[in-house]
C-alpha cells in the first residue's frame, strides 16, 4: 500500500493544481482593497497606446490632489523624454476614448496639459501674461472658439483662439519663445493650438494654476 | 477513491494505470501552474515596465522635469513682440538685358545678313521632337548661326544667349512657347467652354427649391 500512496498523492496534488486557476481571485472579499497601491492601468487602453504613458498609482494621485497639482483625478501622463523647449509640444491621443476634456495651465512650470478621459493627450510650453498684465488664475470655462481671430485691441493675429474671460483673455497660437510674455493670454505653439482647438469644446474647463502653487520643492 | 480501489488488486497492470494517471495529472498541474504564474509574471513585468521608476515620483516632479523652468522675474522688459521682417521678393523682369556691360565699349560684332531657315513653322519645330533645340539657344561656336536673332515669341522668362558671346556650360535650355496654340489646345479649351456652358444650362434647368421649404 505504501507504493500506491505516492501516485495517489501526486494525483490529488495535480488535480488541485489543475483546478487552481478556476478558483475565485479574491475569495473573502477583502483583497480588492489591497489593489489600491498598484498603478491603475486601465483596461480600455490597448498596449500600443500605453507605451508612451506614465500611469499614476493611487498614492501618486492622492498626493497630487492633496498638494493641488491637479484638482481632479487623472489616470496617466505623457512620458516626455526630455525637457521641452520654448515652442515644443507633445501630442498623443492614440486610442484615448472620448470623454470629459479639461486643460491644465501651470504658470509655475510654464506648461499646458490637455486631459481627456483622465489621460493627458498633449502638453506644451506656454507664454503667459506679464507682470502688469497677469493671466487670471483659477478655473475658467471656454466661452467661445475662433479659428481665425484677429485681436482688435492689440492688432495682432490670434489663431485658434479659445476665449476664457469676458475681457478677452484667451488661449491662442503664438510665437512661443524665451523671454516673451503676453497681455494676459496664454500663448501656445501654433500647431499645438490647432490640435487643442480641435480637441476642446465650448464649456470645457481650463484650470490655471498660479505660480508658487505647485512647486516641485513642496511636493517632491 | 476509485483510483485507490483500482489499485487494490495489486496487479502490476492496475498499479501501472495509477502511475500513468498520476503522471498525466502532474504534467497537467505543472502546465497550469506554469501558465498561471507566467501570466502573473508577465503582468507584473508589464506593469513595472510601464510604470518604471515613475511610480515613486510625484506628479509635480514629473511635470517639472519637462518644464523649461520658472520664468525669471526680470526677463520681461517689454511686452511688445518684434514684428517679423516682411520678406520682399521682386518679380524678375520678363526679358533680361541682352547686352553685356562691355557692349558699349567693345561694340557689337557685325551681324551677317539674315538667312531665314527653311520654311518650317516654329511651333511644329518645337513640338516635333523634344531633342530639337530652339534656334535661339543654340550655342554659337564662334560664328553666329542663322536665325539667331529671332526673338522667342512670348515672355517665357528664358535665358537667351546673345549672339557672339561664348557659352557658359550651365545655361538652362527652356523650350519656347509658341504664340499660336496648337489644335489640341484649341480643342481642349473649346471642350472646356462647352462643359461650363452645359453645367450652367443644367443648373438653370433644375428649378431652385424655395428656401425654408
User: Which residue of A lies nearest to B2 if distances are taken between CA atoms?
Assistant: A8
* A89 or A42, greater pLDDT: A89
User: Which residue of A lies nearest to B27 if distances are taken between CA atoms?
Assistant: A14
Q: What is the mean pLDDT of residues A107-130?
A: 93
Query: Is the minimum CB–CB distance between A79 and chain B shorter than 8 Å?
Result: yes
What is the structure's pLDDT at B1? Answer: 42
Q: How confident is the model at residue A10 (pLDDT cuts 50, 70, 90)?
A: low
- Residues of B with Cβ-Cβ distance to A20 under 8 angstroms: 32-33, 36
Here the cell at position A136 is 487670471
What is the structure's pLDDT at A2? Answer: 54
Query: Is the minimum CB–CB distance between A113 and chain B shorter than 8 Å?
Result: yes
* A205 or B142, greater pLDDT: A205
Check: CB of residue A94 under 8 Å from CB of residue A69: no
Cβ-defined contact of A110 to B69 (cutoff 8 Å): yes
Please report where in the chains the cell 507664454 appears, as a residue.
A127
Identify which of B7, B30, B68 has the shortest CB distance to residue A4: B7
Cβ count near B38 (within 10 Å):
10
Q: What is the mean pLDDT of residues A21-26?
A: 58
What is the structure's pLDDT at B11? Answer: 53
Cβ count near B187 (within 10 Å):
11
Taking only the tens of pLDDT, chain B with its 213 residues reads 444 444 444 456 678 888 888 888 888 877 877 666 655 665 555 555 555 566 678 888 888 889 888 887 655 544 555 566 666 667 766 666 666 666 666 655 666 676 666 665 555 544 444 454 444 444 444 444 444 444 445 444 445 545 544 444 455 566 677 777 788 999 999 999 999 999 999 988 875 665 544
What is the structure's pLDDT at B152? Answer: 47
Cβ-defined contact of B58 to A67 (cutoff 8 Å): yes
How remote is the C-alpha of B135 from its chain's centroid? 36
Q: What percent of chain B has pLDDT over 70?
A: 32
Please report where in the chains the cell 518604471 appears, as a residue.
B52
Q: What is the mean pLDDT of residues A39-59?
A: 78
* A95 or B130, greater pLDDT: A95
Q: What is the DSSP string of A132-154?
A: TSPPPPEEEE--EEEEEEEETTT
Please report where in the chains the cell 501651470 appears, as a residue.
A106
Q: Where are the domains of chain B?
A: 2-66
Determine the distance in angstroms separating the CA of A195 from the nearest CA of chain B, rounded to an integer.
20
- CA A66, A68, A74, A79 torsion: positive or negative? negative
What is the structure's pLDDT at A42? Answer: 52
Determine the distance in angstroms separating the CA of A75 from the nearest CA of chain B, rounded to an integer.
11
Burial profile A108-117: b = 16 or more Cβ within 10 angstroms, e = fewer: bbbbbbbbbb
What is the structure's pLDDT at B127? Answer: 47
Strands A186-188 and A205-209: unpaired
Cβ-defined contact of B47 to A70 (cutoff 8 Å): no
Q: Give the SS3 label for residue B212.
A: coil
Average per-residue pLDDT for chain A = 83
| Integer Rg of chain A from CA | 25
Cβ burial, residue B177 (10 Å; 0-12/13-18/19+): middle
Q: Where are the domains of chain A?
A: 36-212
User: Which residue of A lies nearest to B76 if distances are taken between CA atoms?
Assistant: A179
Cβ-defined contact of B67 to A175 (cutoff 8 Å): no
Residue A179 scores a pLDDT above 60: yes
Please report where in the chains the cell 516654329 appears, as a residue.
B122
What is the structure's pLDDT at A121? Answer: 94
The tens digit of pLDDT for each residue in B67-99 reads 888 887 655 544 555 566 666 667 766 666 666
Region for B159 from its dihedrals, namely left if φ exceeds 0, alpha if ψ lies in -120 to 50, beta otherwise: beta
User: Which residue of B lies nearest to A179 if distances are taken between CA atoms?
Assistant: B75
The tens digit of pLDDT for each residue in B163-191 reads 544 444 455 566 677 777 788 999 999 99
What is the structure's pLDDT at B7? Answer: 44
Cβ-defined contact of B32 to A219 (cutoff 8 Å): no
Residue A198 scores a pLDDT above 90: yes
Q: CA A130, CA A183: separation in Å to the nearest integer?
A: 6
The complex's ipTM works out to 0.72
Considering the segment(s) A36-212 as one domain, its CATH architecture is Beta Barrel (2.40)
How remote is the C-alpha of B114 from its chain's centroid? 49
Q: Which of residues 116-175 of A touch B (CB under 8 A)?
A: 123, 125, 128, 130-131, 133, 175
Q: Which of A1, A3, A4, A20 to mutate to test the interface with B (most CBs of B within 10 A)?
A: A4
Region for B33 from its dihedrals, namely left if φ exceeds 0, alpha if ψ lies in -120 to 50, beta otherwise: alpha
Determine the distance in angstroms separating the CA of A143 from the nearest CA of chain B, rounded to an integer.
25
Amino acid at each position: 500500500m505504501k507504493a500506491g500512496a505516492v501516485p495517489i498523492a501526486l494525483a490529488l496534488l495535480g488535480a488541485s493544481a489543475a483546478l487552481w486557476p478556476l478558483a475565485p481571485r479574491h475569495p473573502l472579499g477583502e483583497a480588492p482593497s489591497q489593489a489600491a497601491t498598484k498603478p491603475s492601468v486601465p483596461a480600455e487602453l490597448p498596449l500600443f497606446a500605453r507605451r508612451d504613458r506614465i500611469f499614476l498609482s493611487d498614492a501618486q494621485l492622492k498626493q497630487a490632489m492633496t498638494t493641488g497639482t491637479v484638482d481632479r483625478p487623472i489616470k496617466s501622463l505623457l512620458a516626455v523624454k526630455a525637457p521641452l523647449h520654448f515652442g515644443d509640444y507633445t501630442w498623443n491621443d492614440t486610442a484615448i476614448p472620448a470623454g470629459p476634456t479639461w486643460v491644465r495651465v501651470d504658470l509655475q512650470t510654464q506648461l499646458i496639459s490637455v486631459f481627456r478621459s483622465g489621460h493627458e493627450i498633449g502638453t506644451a510650453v506656454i507664454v503667459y501674461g506679464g507682470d502688469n498684465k497677469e493671466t487670471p488664475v483659477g478655473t475658467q470655462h471656454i466661452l467661445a472658439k475662433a479659428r481665425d481671430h484677429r485681436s482688435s485691441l492689440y492688432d495682432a493675429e490670434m489663431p485658434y483662439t479659445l476665449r476664457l474671460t469676458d475681457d478677452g483673455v484667451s488661449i491662442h497660437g503664438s510665437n512661443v519663445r524665451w523671454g516673451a510674455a503676453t497681455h494676459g493670454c496664454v500663448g501656445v505653439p501654433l500647431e499645438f493650438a490647432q490640435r487643442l482647438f480641435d480637441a476642446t469644446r465650448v464649456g470645457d474647463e481650463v484650470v490655471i494654476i498660479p505660480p508658487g502653487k505647485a512647486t516641485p520643492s513642496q511636493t517632491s | 477513491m476509485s483510483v485507490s480501489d483500482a489499485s487494490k488488486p495489486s496487479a502490476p497492470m492496475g498499479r501501472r494505470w495509477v502511475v500513468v494517471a498520476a503522471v498525466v495529472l502532474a504534467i497537467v498541474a505543472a502546465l497550469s501552474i506554469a501558465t498561471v504564474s507566467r501570466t502573473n509574471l508577465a503582468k507584473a513585468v508589464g506593469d513595472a515596465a510601464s510604470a518604471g521608476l515613475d511610480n515613486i515620483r510625484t506628479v509635480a516632479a514629473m511635470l517639472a522635469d519637462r518644464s523649461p523652468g520658472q520664468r525669471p522675474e526680470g526677463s520681461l522688459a517689454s511686452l511688445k513682440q518684434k514684428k517679423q521682417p516682411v520678406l520682399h521678393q521682386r518679380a524678375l523682369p520678363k526679358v533680361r538685358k541682352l547686352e553685356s556691360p562691355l557692349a558699349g565699349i567693345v561694340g557689337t560684332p557685325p551681324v551677317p545678313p539674315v538667312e531665314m531657315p527653311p520654311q518650317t513653322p516654329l511651333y511644329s519645330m518645337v513640338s516635333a521632337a523634344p531633342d530639337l533645340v530652339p534656334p535661339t539657344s543654340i550655342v554659337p561656336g564662334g560664328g553666329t548661326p542663322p536665325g539667331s536673332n529671332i526673338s522667342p515669341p512670348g515672355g517665357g522668362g528664358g535665358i537667351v544667349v546673345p549672339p557672339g558671346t561664348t557659352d557658359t556650360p550651365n545655361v538652362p535650355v527652356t523650350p519656347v512657347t509658341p504664340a499660336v496654340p496648337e489644335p489640341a489646345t484649341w480643342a481642349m479649351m473649346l471642350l472646356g467652354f462647352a462643359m461650363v456652358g452645359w453645367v450652367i444650362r443644367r443648373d438653370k434647368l433644375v428649378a431652385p427649391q424655395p428656401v425654408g421649404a
